[in-house]
Every structure is written in C-alpha cells, then in structure tokens.
Structure 1
C-alpha cells in the first residue's frame, strides 16, 4: 500500500509507462488513420474537410501522413518527439477548426488524443524505444589510436 501512495517513481516504471502510452495511443490513432488511408486511395471522390484553404485531397493526405506514418513512428519509438508535433497540430485543427461548432462531446476525442502527444513531446519515448537504442550506439566512444597512446 505504501508503494501505491509513493510520489517517487523508479526510472524503470516511468519507461514502462511511456512504452504503454506510446503503443496505446499509436494503436488507437492507427484505428482512425487506416480508414482515411483507404479513403485516400479509393476511386470515389474525396469527402474530407478543406482546412487552411487546402483542397480536400491535400487535407486528407496530411491527415493520413500524421495519423498513419507519425503513429507508426511513435509506436516503434523512432523520432517520437518530432512525430508528436504533426499529431498535436492535427488534433488542434480537429478540435478548434473542424469541430469548433460541435458540442464538447464531439471535441473531446481530439482533446483526449492531444494530451498523450503533448506528454510524449515533453518526455520523449523512454528506454524501450528505437530512439534509445540509436542514442546508445551514438553515445559509445569509439576506440582511437590517439587515446591509446596517451
């Protein structure tokens, strides 16, 4: 019981929490992005909101990029902070432009997606990610003959 009430967290528990958040939010967003990907490549005319003066097809293509490609990057933990930025922008556009006249219940989903993306932007992907593996290999010093001579 004491551990449940503790405000101090181990580094491992934070990394596990980031892994769960990353995989969970990415999988949920892929559920929204894959139907849009099908819509983009369908023969039917594109039915999608035109945002910032962009055509419906261009808006849909940008949404597909963020919701599919950026979600996959977050899922595997590659460029997590950078991948979170387009997703944050997409959720802000969805909430404050596309659904601005809708009731809060319609805006709520976009806000719920927005929160973990902001957290991932601030924290990064954690230890269980490709970002961590790539930075570990970069951080290792290489053997140098000059260092051996000294």
Structure 2
C-alpha cells in the first residue's frame, strides 16, 4: 500500500505541472461537489440513480468523490487512492449518465477523467502532502 501511495520522482518542471493540474482540476470539481453537498444539507435528496443503488446513496457517494476526494487531491494527500472514486464517478457520468448524448455533452466529463487518469499515473508530485509523508 505504501508503494501505491508513494509519489514517484519527476523532473522539477513536471512537478510544477502536476501541482497546477491537481489544484486546477480539484478546484473545478469542488464547485460541483459543494453544490451537491449544499443541496443535501438543505434536505434535497433527489438525485439520479445511474447504477441502481438508490438515489440517496448515489448522491452521498458522488458528494464523497466530488467534494471529499477533491480536497484530498488538492492537498496531494492519499492522492492515488482519492482518485479512484473520482475516476469511477467520471466513468459513470460518461458511460451511463451521458452515454447516449453527443460529444458536446460529454466534454467536461472527458476533461475531468483525462486529468484524473493522468494524475493517477504520475502521482501527486513533489509539492504534495504525500511527498512529505513518504520521504
């Protein structure tokens, strides 16, 4: 598990690029997750149930991914583990929720998924909490 979470050594310019990608993509996803969290706290439990686990559970898991995991990715804390729910959520959005939609409806999901897979492969980089934990 430690090997899975440990950041890999990247060139300095790549570390800066990973930092910018982590902060940018997480900040954008946080807006989606926060809106869903605010709705849930306001008592609105209605949500899509694309994989058949129930509306409320789908909402809670989506909030966990979009809000909670985005904060972890932003910090670079347990980054690869936090990316798994985000990758799964974006895959469901692309393949199930917008599966039959034209590409223009899928663009945002493709961008998020591409960034998450890239971060999963590169790791969080030198400028992350993970790097400090696993030195």
TM-score (norm. length: structure 1): 0.81
* 1:127, distance to aligned residue in structure 2 (A): 0.3
Rounded Cα–Cα distance in structure 1 between residues aligned with 2:103 and 2:20: 27
* 1:99, distance to aligned residue in structure 2 (A): 1.0
Is 1:118 the counterpart of 2:117 in the alignment?
A: yes
Structure 1 SS opposite 2:134: helix
Is 1:33 the counterpart of 2:33 in the alignment?
A: yes
**In the TM superposition, what are the counterparts of 1:1-150 in structure 2 within 5 Å?**
11-44=11-44, 46-136=45-135
What residue number does 2:4 align with? Answer: none
Count of residue pairs brought into register by the alignment: 126
CA contact (8 A) 1:40 1:57 kept: no
* 1:52, distance to aligned residue in structure 2 (A): 1.9
CA contact (8 A) 1:48 1:57 kept: yes
Q: Deviations over 1:65-106 (max 9, x none)?
A: 000010000000001111111100000000110111222111
Q: CA RMSD, aligned part only? A: 1.1
Which consecutive aligned stretches of 4+ in structure 1 deviate over 6 angstroms post-superposition?
none
Which sections of structure 2, spanning at least 5 residues, go unmatched? 1-9
* 1:43, distance to aligned residue in structure 2 (A): 2.2
Q: Deviations over 1:7-63 (max 9, x none)?
A: xxx81111110100000000000011100001112223x231112211111100000
What residue number does 2:5 align with? Answer: none
